[in-house]
Amino acid sequence: MNCSGIDATTGRSVEIQFARTLEHVRTREGPGEGVWLSPGWIDLQVNGFAGVDYCSPQTPADDIAHSIRVIRSTGVTRFFPTVITGTVDGMAGALRNLARARRSMAEGNSIAGFHVEGPHISPDDGPRGAHPRQCVRPPDLDEYRHWQDATDGQVRLVTVSPEWPGVNRYIETLVRDGVVVSIGHTKATAEQIAGAVDSGAAMSTHIGNGAHQVLPRHPNYIWEQLADDRLVASFIADGIHLPGSFLKVALRAKGVERSVLVTDAVMPAGCRPGRYRLGEVEVELHADDRVTLAGETRLAGSSLRMDRGVGNLMRLAGLSLAEAIALAAINPARAGRIDGRTQGLVPGDRADLVEFRYDEEQRTVQVKRVWVDGELVSVADGE
């Protein structure tokens, strides 16, 4: 197959020939054709989408397949379904259900692995976020191995707080298994964070969120993570979880090369405003796109789409299109260690592609067509 447009990472007009992988990428003379091309976008944190809850062990495979088709329409070609803090049996059941669906459905190749966010997080209000307090518990290697058994070894990312006794041994074991360990939902001290990173922790989960409302000026766990160049940081760029000022400063601290865009989307994302259930928790999707615990102001995930997140990085944080695409495509592939997706529009990488229109004045992107493994999987209405 062939497609052509402007390479969003270089600004050059290119023609691409591909099958399952990119075979030839040729620079063309003259201006582009009004469309832009990018490596397929990757989301390392998706709790649900389009009315489908990934944290429920009972979610039907057909519903999961539907949600993936909607996710693909936003430009996301690979993602990590994310299971949050729950009971021992509930979390293992959700992971087993997702892994079973991945094997059975045609859309399963978009699932690049699984992210387990918790349950080994801070029990404190603030850092715990919307995770149920009664299910928070210390790191447990037997439980971790149960997750891997349930997913055929496909848990690829685990979020943990380094405040727990014995956590460094836990981190070292996961890292030896090839799992990316991310610090998040934490009240850890500077020493605990440094110990976690020395043990192999490599990321910070949605930094700036899952935190106390009031923190010491310094030291505090946000500054400590931003200052450590060994940590990649993920950001929810929806204009709700983080103000533009924090996003700008944090991106300057980490540098574009150590920053990743995530949606942290939950089941109501892509749905009409109203009340929904996430497992045993009732949440509300508001008209302004906030998702909160029902009757509260506390955020409970987001309704962000990745295509809007790319635009928000440009509008809120002042990034260029190429920089925003790096946070959506190249950086998450490297941070999540997703094989065949770390080089960009380069021969040999997987043929995961997004074709989109770019409004430079409004700083928005509009997805037109999406390919996964060289197969056209999404076409926008009217195209």
Q: The domain containing residue 145 runs over which residues?
A: 39-347
Each residue's pLDDT, cut to its tens digit, for the chain (383 residues) gives 999 999 999 999 999 999 999 999 999 876 666 899 999 999 999 999 999 999 999 999 999 999 999 999 999 999 999 999 999 999 999 999 999 999 999 999 999 999 999 999 999 999 999 999 999 999 999 999 999 999 999 999 999 999 999 999 999 999 999 999 999 999 999 999 999 999 999 999 999 999 999 999 999 999 999 999 999 999 999 999 999 999 999 999 999 999 999 999 999 999 999 999 886 678 999 999 999 999 998 899 999 999 999 999 999 999 999 999 999 999 999 999 999 999 999 999 999 999 999 999 999 999 999 999 999 999 998 77
Angle at 320 between CA 317 and CA 322, to 5 degrees: 130
Report the alpha-carbon distance of residue 324 to residue 133 in Å, rounded: 35
Pairing of strands 274-278, 155-160: unpaired
CATH of the domain at 48: 3.20.20.140
Specify the 3-state DSSP secondary structure of 224. helix
Is 2 inside any structural domain? no
Is 5 inside any structural domain? no
Report the alpha-carbon distance of residue 253 to residue 278 in Å, rounded: 34
Is 375 inside any structural domain? no
Element (H, E) at 341: none
Is 48 inside any structural domain? yes
Is 214 inside any structural domain? yes
Place of tokens 């259930």: 277
Is 172 inside any structural domain? yes
DSSP state of 21: B
Who's near 101: CB < 8 A, 6+ residues apart?
Answer: 59, 61, 64, 65, 108
Is 83 inside any structural domain? yes
Is 109 inside any structural domain? yes
The number of distinct structural domains making up the chain is 1
